[in-house]
Amino acid sequence: MESLPQTSILVLLAHATITVKFVLGLLVAMSLGSWSIIIYKYFLLAKARRAAADDHAVFVSGDSLGESMRTLARNQASPVYRVGAGGLNELRRLESSGLLTADRMGLVMNNLRRVLRSGVSSQLKVMTANLPFLATCANAAPFIGLFGTVWGIMHSFQTIGQMQSAALATVAPGISEALVATAVGLAVAIPATIAYNFFLGIVQVVETELVNFAGAFLNTVQRELSKTGPAGAHDAHHEEENGI
């Protein structure tokens, strides 16, 4: 079996300086971290996007707040259900305080609006967790690789001075090992950039669904409270206690 040629990447890395090896090690660690996040977030956000779209449609098609939330409770990991559950909890607190009445519609709607907004923000915070690391890799990896390249080229020029020879065979290995750092930096940054932008697009879609759901939730509460007084929201509260 033939031995590796002297210009192979493995040989170049074996003869690289400590600084270049450290840069490459850092880039490899960043790559492993970013790919772990990419794989995890892909399945998490894809599931959240499907659940948000389906559950919003289910809620809108329901006949009452209690019935819709009871249906959504079948998938309690859904971001839509979690936002709605926060709204139901607020309805329960308003009811226990004696504020869940038609003549206090403004207070009820304002409280619910704040709770639902907070719920949407909480779900978005969960979905965007670790995405800043992808942004950091996308922005920093090329410059880290460039630093390794510059350092490697500086070392090559020092070698030229010591050997007093500028022949291609003398400078090529050092420059090649230096350019590997830039290539690795780009290999880390490109997937991280694509994944970051892709995931942001999914998060925006989910955010739209959650905001639309919050609006539908408020409309349903207002409609039921206006028609039946506290009875409709009271029934939703008891349905929540019985299974939601």
CA dist list (Å): 38 to 84, 102, 139, 165, 182:
29, 48, 16, 47, 22
Q: Where are the domains of the chain?
A: 9-243
Range with the poorest average pLDDT among 66-75, 101-110, 135-144, 185-194: 101-110
Which pLDDT belongs to residue 60? 86
**Residue in 210, 173, 224, 174 with CA at minimum distance from that of residue 65:** 224
Question: In this model, does residue 24 exceed pLDDT 50?
Answer: yes
Task: Tell me the average pLDDT of the chain.
Answer: 81
Which pTM value belongs to this model? 0.78
Question: In three state form, how does the secondary structure of 186-224 look?
Answer: HHHHHHHHHHHHHHHHHHHHHHHHHHHHHHHHHHHHHHH
Residue with more model confidence, 62 or 3: 62
Q: Confidence class of residue 171 from pLDDT cuts 50, 70 and 90?
A: low
Q: Confidence class of residue 5 from pLDDT cuts 50, 70 and 90?
A: very low
Q: Determine the Cα–Cα distance for residues 7 and 19; give it in Å rounded to an integer.
A: 20
User: Residue 167: exposed, middle, or buried by beta-carbon count in 10 A (0-12, 13-18, 19+)?
Assistant: exposed
Range with the poorest average pLDDT among 82-86, 206-210, 211-215, 223-227: 223-227
Top mean pLDDT of 51-65, 203-217, 219-233 is at 203-217
Over the stretch 34-48, which tens digit does the pLDDT of each residue have?
Answer: 999 999 999 999 999
Residue with more model confidence, 224 or 171: 224
Q: What is the mean pLDDT of residues 105-114?
A: 86
Which pLDDT belongs to residue 13? 62
